[in-house]
Amino acid sequence: MKRVIILGCCGSGKSTLALKLAEKINSEVIHLDTLFWKPGWVQSSSEEFIMRQESLLTGDKWIVDGNYHGTLDLRLEPADTVIYLDFPTSLCLYRIVKRRVMYQGKTRPDMAKDCPEKIDLEFFNYVRTFNRKKAPAIKKRLNNLEGKKVYLFKNSRQVEQFLHQI
C-alpha cells in the first residue's frame, strides 16, 4: 500500500482517514481541495488542477483524498489501492453541518488557504444526492479496476478495523 486514493461523499471522513492512514504507513497526504481551491473560494482552471496533481503523483508514496471525478483517472492510473467510503447520506449531511459549526469563520486544515468553512444550497444538495447520483458511477468504475486493491467501507467500524489491521 504505497499509492492510495480515498473516495466518498463529502462528510464521509476521507480527510480524517487519510491522516490516520498516513500515520500508520508513514506517507504524505494530498488533499485535493487544497489543490483545486484558491483563496476566497476561487476555482483553479482545469489545466492548473491537472498540473498540480501530476506534479505530486510522481512520488513513490502518497495518499490522496477527494473525489473530483473529472480527474479521477489521473489518480487511478498510478494508485495501487483505492478506498471508497460508502456511508449513509444522513451521516454525511450530519457531518458537514457539524464541520460547519466546528470551523465557523475558519478554514479547515484540509482546505485551501482563506476558504472559510461554508455550506450553501448547491453543496448541501450535492451531498444530499451523492449516493443516488454520483456513487453508482464510481462503484461501477471501481468494480472494473484491475491490478488494484479496492476497499469499500460502509461504516466507521469497518474503517477502524481496517486501520487496526495495518
Kindly report, residue by residue over 64-122, the tens digit of the pLDDT: 999 999 999 999 999 999 999 999 999 999 999 999 999 999 999 999 999 999 999 99
pLDDT value of residue 150: 97
Contact 6/89 with Cβ under 8 angstroms? no
pLDDT value of residue 111: 94
**For residue 84, what are the CA distances in angstroms to 110, 112, 113, 165?**
18, 23, 26, 17
pLDDT value of residue 50: 97
What is the residue type of 10?
C
* Mean local confidence (pLDDT), 52-73: 95
pLDDT value of residue 32: 97
In this prediction the pTM is 0.95
Bridge partners of 4? 63, 81
Q: What is the DSSP letter of 71?
A: G
CA distance 58 to 54: 7
